[in-house]
Amino acid sequence: MINVKAFAKVNLYLEVTRRRPDGYHDLATLFARIDVSDRLSFRKTAVPGLKLLVEGGPQGLCEPLDNIVYLAAVKFFAAFGLSPAVEIKLEKNIPLGAGLGGGSSDAAGALLGLARLYKLPRSAAGRLMKIAASLGSDVPFFMLDTAMAVGTGRGEKLKVLKPAAGLPYVVLVYPGVPVYTKEVYGRLKLGAKAEINRRRKDLGLLCGLIKKGRFAAWQAGLLFNRLEDPVLPVNKEVLLAKKKLAKAAGNALMSGSGASVFALCESRAEAARLTAEMGRIRGYRAFLTKFC
């Protein structure tokens, strides 16, 4: 039996730099892994075939062709010329449509877990990463055993950022209503080139502070997410969650394309108090977590 944790992420910074001819967008983003996770387990079976069991999450996740874990497994076996005889169990905890990369992390977890189960050599890493990129723009980040990375291109071009100790705690709030990425990008208006260039300098400053161990909650003003522009005016639940969190914590940012928002806290006690306060709001899920 092989067990894998599929961690969620938040985006500490996300700027959309251009629309690409292929219909995708180029980004500059700072992925940050957090200690909220799904769990996957893998075991070989005597009977040939690929079986997926799902606990938690919406009913639709149980349909294999609608589940990215199943799709990742199919691509894995095709790429390496292996015949499947495996059962995969997925335990969902990360909310869907939350901007936390739950599906992408599950896909990466499937590839990594199957690679361990079938004892692939280290030389297979490049092929695994190509499969990851074909499954989604932020799947490659979750293939890395790292807390943070700067993503460019569609998000698949990665540069690992090694944070020093002493990072703030994270209070994460999901307001109970999913947001769908395709719709968000359909409403997006790019920033002016001069503004994008200025914002990119903030990303460099943010990365420098994190590497030196000098990033603190009071510097949350450096955090930025361009996708708030097309989300907050039309998704009132997300806007309200951000306002409530910002009022209580003094800072708040939406993660990815939403719907989750998060705040940074210097102490665990402060983060615990804030998590309890937000968790009492009807329909909200609140998590006290940390970068990992």
CA distance 271 to 288: 6
DSSP designation for 195: H
CA distance 267 to 126: 40
Q: Residues 38, 138, 242, 244: which is the catalytic one?
A: 138
Active site residue 9: yes
Q: Which is nearest to 100 in space by CA: 254, 281, 238?
A: 254
Q: In the numeric block, which tokens belong to residue 51?
A: 């079986």
Cis-peptide into 259, omega within 30 deg: yes
Q: Residues 9, 75, 242, 244: which is the catalytic one?
A: 9
Q: Determine how β-strand 169-174 pairs with β-strand 157-161.
A: unpaired
Active site residue 22: no
Q: Angle between the 68-80 and 125-135 helix axes, to the nearest 10 degrees? A: 140
CA distance 287 to 278: 9
- Please enumerate in sequence order all residues whose Cβ is within 8 A of that of 155, keeping only pairs 6 or more positions apart, or say none: 27, 29, 31, 137, 138, 140, 141
CA distance 136 to 142: 11
Contact 76, 110 (CB under 8 A): yes
Active-site residue numbers? 9, 138
